[in-house]
């Protein structure tokens, strides 16, 4: 298997990888200094610092924004609450536009509290994304549906496979006018036996807007906060990137690691150096 080595200019750091321990401005400087070509910031930190200020800093450092994290969850018990969620997402789209983000990352939400109706929650997600799509077109921001691992179906996302995300994108945007696609995260999709067919199908449609890497640790001690550094787990990362690129993706490779007890305890520059080394050796 031959995959082209990754140049850091094609690599991006999702700021969650550093554990949100420092002001976003400091984090952005560290990422630029370490030689990465881009970053993916989170809404709460950008809003706290002021979007215009952060956008200026990112432009001055000539960084790309591989994605803006992330949507407010769509499902909710009442129509009013669902409309409020959509409005929240429209506000975030404005900021994503100002940041020049490659896409707005859509983590769609799980079952509303006390509810067991997965099909209904999925319909609410579809309606919510449908309602957001017009604003996305107007603002020129691409929406990237990120399927989350099935272990998050209860509380974080009722979209759990590339298959579902593909079907949703095609249903809402059958002509693929360029504003509704998929964010592919290896952590969520690596186990899928239909991966080849699904990636190839998403890619032919030119709907892969983002590609995220980390690793699946064995054992995994926490459902949310125990992701591994690339190379420390069991995912065939080079094979995965080969498939994503074969499917037509030529964008950034973004590192997104939630690791409460390991990487979030290490000095930020050590984390960035390790990411850089692993991106260039095992990804």
190 contact partners, CB below 8 Å, separation of at least 6: 216, 235, 236, 240
Instruction: Kindly state the smallest distance separating residue 181's Cβ from a second copy, in Å.
Output: 19
Among 29, 47, 98, 163, binds a second copy (CB under 8 A): 163
Instruction: Kindly state the smallest distance separating residue 154's Cβ from a second copy, in Å.
Output: 4
193 contact partners, CB below 8 Å, separation of at least 6: none
Helices (H) then strands (E): counts for the chain: 10, 9
Fill in the per-residue mask, 225 to 264: x = in contact with a second copy (CB under 8 A), - = not in contact.
--------xxxx--x-------------------------
From residue 52, alpha-carbon distances to 22, 47, 63 in Å are: 19, 9, 15
197 touching a second copy, by CB under 8 A: no
Cα-flanking dihedrals φ and ψ of residue 208, to 5°?
-85, 110
- 134 three-state secondary structure: helix
Which of 125, 127, 93 has its CA nearest to residue 108?
125
Taking the least distance from each CB to a second copy, the nearer of 12 and 214 is 214
Query: In the structure encoding, which two tokens stand for residue 230, read together?
Result: 């690339």
Taking the least distance from each CB to a second copy, the nearer of 236 and 270 is 236
Stretch that binds a second copy, among 56-64, 74-82, 212-220, 267-275 (CB under 8 A): 212-220
Instruction: Kindly state the smallest distance separating residue 281's Cβ from a second copy, in Å.
Output: 14
Query: In the structure encoding, which two tokens stand for residue 254, read together?
Result: 């973004």
**Interaction with a second copy in 31-90: which residues (CB under 8 A)?**
none
Residues β-bridged to residue 184 = 211
151 touching a second copy, by CB under 8 A: yes
Q: Would you tell me which residues interact with a second copy (CB under 8 A)?
A: 110-111, 115-118, 122, 149-151, 153-155, 160-161, 163-164, 190-194, 216, 218-221, 223, 233-236, 239
């Amino acid at each position: 298997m031959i995959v082209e080595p990754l140049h850091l200019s094609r690599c991006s750091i999702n700021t969650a990888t550093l554990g949100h321990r420092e002001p976003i401005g400091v984090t952005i400087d560290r990422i630029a200094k370490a030689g990465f070509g881009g970053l993916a910031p989170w809404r709460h930190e950008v809003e706290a610092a002021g979007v215009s200020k952060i956008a200026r800093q990112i432009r001055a450092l000539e960084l790309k924004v591989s994605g803006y994290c992330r949507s407010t969850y769509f499902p909710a018990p009442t129509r009013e609450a669902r409309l409020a969620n959509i409005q929240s997402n429209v506000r975030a789209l404005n900021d994503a536009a100002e940041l020049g983000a490659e896409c707005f990352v859509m983590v769609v939400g799980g079952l509303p509290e006390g509810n067991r109706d997965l099909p209904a929650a999925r319909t609410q997600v579809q309606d919510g994304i449908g309602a957001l799509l017009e604003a996305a077109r107007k603002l020129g921001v691409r929406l990237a549906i990120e399927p989350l691992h099935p272990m998050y179906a209860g509380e974080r996302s009722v979209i759990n496979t590339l298959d579902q995300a593909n079907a949703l994108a095609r249903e809402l945007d059958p002509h693929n006018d360029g504003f509704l696609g998929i964010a592919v995260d290896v952590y969520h999709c690596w186990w899928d036996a239909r991966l080849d067919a699904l990636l190839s199908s998403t890619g032919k449609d030119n709907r892969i807007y983002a590609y995220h890497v980390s690793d699946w640790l064995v054992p995994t001690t926490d459902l949310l906060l125990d992701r591994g550094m690339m190379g420390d787990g069991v995912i065939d990362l080079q094979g995965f990137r080969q498939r994503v690129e074969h499917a037509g993706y030529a964008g950034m490779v973004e590192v997104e690691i939630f690791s409460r007890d390991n990487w979030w305890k290490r000095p930020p520059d050590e984390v960035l150096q390790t990411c850089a080394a692993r991106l260039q050796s095992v990804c």
